[in-house]
Amino acid sequence: MRDVVAGYGAVRILHGVSVEVREGETVALLGTNGNGKSTLIKCIMGLLTPDAGEIYLESDGARIDLTKRSTEEIVDLGIALVPEGRRLFPRLTVEENLLLGAYRTGARADIDRNLPFCFEAFPVLRERRRQLAGSMSGGEQQMLAIARALMSSPRILLVDEPSVGLAPILVTRVIAKIRELKDRYQLTVLMAEQNFNQATKIADRGYIIVHGRIEFEGRSTAELRENELVKKYYLGV
Amino acid sequence: MFTWDLLANAVVAGILLGGFYAAVSLGVSLTFGLLDVVNIAHPAFVILGAYAAYVMNSSFGLDPILTGVLFTPLFYALGAGVYRIYYSSFERRGEESLRGLVFFFGLLFIIEVALSLKYGVDYRLVEAAYIGKSIDLGGVGIAFRLLVPCVVGLLMTLALSLFLSRTFYGRAVMGVSQDQVALRLMGANPVRIKTIAFGIGIAAASLSGALLITISPVVPSTDRDYIGRVFAITVLGGLGSVGGTLVASIILGVAESLMATLFGPSWSLAVSFGILLLALAVRPAGLFGR
């Protein structure tokens, strides 16, 4: 995305943000609460239309303008989001949630492959497949949210704040799972996260967003770690 | 004079009636239970379906239930159109709660009045070979005019239940009122999903209307007898639960039939509201609510 400007009504959140994610990369989008991480993700998914700037997907030489597409069409392109707050269907069972994840036409034929894989990656989901999603613990719900996104056979996985509301041990586990899945599926991942230490465990590189502007682009996690902003905001140095 | 035969007959008639009540209530279970659309015009579409069966029967001698089945695509389209109007006029603007209710209330009266103007307020009925016939099982009479609608009602319940649990559209219908943004993130358009579900609800209403006129003659204002019944059944069964709707329908059918046998038919409507109040007081989520 290039020079994206976006906000809600008169409130401008993003002031010309440019971010690039190349195929096969895991990119971290770092920033504390209220700096525009979720707004940026909403723009990519078509849940919010930017006031200016461009967002596009380049694949096989074709260039697709995402700002002109609906959320449903963007999902159909193979982009899946694990949303902030998980957004499960609380009164549907675990299995029904997973099957809804495979709603898009491109994913339906893959159910026989994807469903066993999700159960293998998250055995707790197999045990609880008949249980209502809303009755599970936060960690289990986060696992389900990730598994549901994988059910859509995505090429690109967006993850918004996977660590929110989880105990530290669960955060470590969820982050490790995302990496494992990325390796197995050859996914491209963009992860918005405020937990710097966890995010840099699996990211190839990252951006730091402050007040709706990209303040630093780290070409490696080492570069990120050395950055003054990171030292000031995250590492307490 | 109370006899065991009388009781057995009342219970069997009640169960058969229950299968028919399920057919009438399925659409509300779908639209009100799963879509959160308070479609109180539902019974008017039932009567519209009954009159379609009447017209085809009296003009061409077509079987009422066959007519009901043949007309479902037309009523599906009608329902989809009604939902689109409702959506663009009220739901999209967040004004559905009160104004939407008025919209459906108005629709109910417009359909009722239109039918009265066109066909008058005389009772209309249909003719078919099985109406009037019955079989006797050891003192318990089973009237075909009740048996056939009951069987069709059970088939409709089965079909809707399979649609919801086995198809992608069905699962999306179950999720649409829980989180519309999440549904879009699954690649499904919530408005499209609701349009399909509402169309199915109205198609089910029209088919149940064909069953209604097979059971007993119909006037345009018959819809009023069903407003209380269908909402009582939907709430008692548990919002959005198709199996619950069937169980609640049979409970209500048997209760009404017993009341009618023991105390007289004028009590039967009080039964549905009595059961509704009891359900709300004791188990607000209904028998099978999630």
Cα pseudo-dihedral B49, B172, B87, B77, rounded to 10:
-30
Task: Nearest chain A residue to B192 by CA: give it.
Answer: A72
Residue B290 lies in a domain: no
pLDDT for A234 equals 66
Domain that holds residue B278: 4-282
Residue B155 lies in a domain: yes
A206 closest CA partner among A195, A228, A190, A182: A190
pLDDT: is B137 or A81 the higher one?
A: A81
Residue B287 has pLDDT above 80, yes or no: yes
CA of B177 vs chain A CAs: smallest distance (Å): 9
Judged by phi (left if over 0) then psi (alpha if -120 to 50, else beta), residue B7 lies in alpha
Task: Nearest chain A residue to B183 by CA: give it.
Answer: A100
Q: How far is CA B241 from CA B27, B38, B41, B140, B165, in A?
A: 11, 16, 20, 32, 11
B7 closest CA partner among B177, B262, B234: B262
Using CB atoms, pick whichever of A83, A89, A103 lies closest to residue B187. Answer: A103
Residues in chain B: 290
Residue B262 lies in a domain: yes
* Coil/strand/helix, residue A57: strand
Residue B288 lies in a domain: no
Number of domains in chain B: 1
Residue B287 lies in a domain: no
Using CB atoms, pick whichever of A70, A87, A104 lies closest to residue B182. Answer: A87
Using CB atoms, pick whichever of A81, A89, A103 lies closest to residue B179. Answer: A89
What rounded mean pLDDT belongs to chain B? 92
Cα A170 from Cα A189, distance rounded (Å)? 20
Cα A188 from Cα A22, distance rounded (Å)? 7
Residues of chain B positioned with their CB less than 8 A from the CB of A114: none
Cα B69 from Cα B88, distance rounded (Å)? 30
Residues B2-59 have pLDDT tens digits of 788 888 999 999 999 999 999 999 999 999 999 999 999 999 999 999 999 999 999 9
Both tokens assigned to B221: 């204002």
| CB within 8 Å: B184 and A101 | no
Q: Taking a C-beta distance cutoff of 8 angstroms, is the pair B90, B103 a contact? A: yes
Residues B188-239 have pLDDT tens digits of 999 999 999 999 999 999 999 999 999 999 999 999 989 989 989 999 999 8
CA of A19 vs chain B CAs: smallest distance (Å): 22
Using CB atoms, pick whichever of A90, A96, A105 lies closest to residue B171. Answer: A96
Residue B164 lies in a domain: yes
Residues A175-206 have pLDDT tens digits of 888 888 888 888 999 999 988 888 888 899 99
According to the 3-state scheme, what is the secondary structure of A86-136? CCCCCCCEHHHHHHHHCCCHHHHCCHHHHHHHHHHHCHHHHHCCCCEHHHC
Cα B272 from Cα B232, distance rounded (Å)? 6
pLDDT for A235 equals 61
Residues of chain A positioned with their CB less than 8 A from the CB of B175: 89, 92, 96, 100
pTM score: 0.92
pLDDT for A178 equals 85
Residue B236 lies in a domain: yes
The 8 Å CB, 24+ separation contacts for B69-72 are: B69/B207, B69/B210, B71/B206, B71/B207, B71/B210, B72/B203, B72/B206, B72/B207
Whole-complex ipTM: 0.92
B117: which residues sit within 8 A by CB, 6+ positions away?
none
Residue A233 has pLDDT above 80, yes or no: no
A118: which residues sit within 8 A by CB, 6+ positions away?
A98, A125, A147, A150, A151
Q: Residue with structure tokens 């009100």?
A: B32
* A94 in reach of chain B (CB within 8 A): no
Residue B59 lies in a domain: yes
Cα A38 from Cα A6, distance rounded (Å)? 11
pLDDT for A32 equals 84
- The CA angle B78-B79-B80, to the nearest 5 degrees, is 90
Instruction: Using the Cα atoms of residue A218, residue A221, residue A226 and residue A228 in order, give the sign of their dihedral.
Output: positive
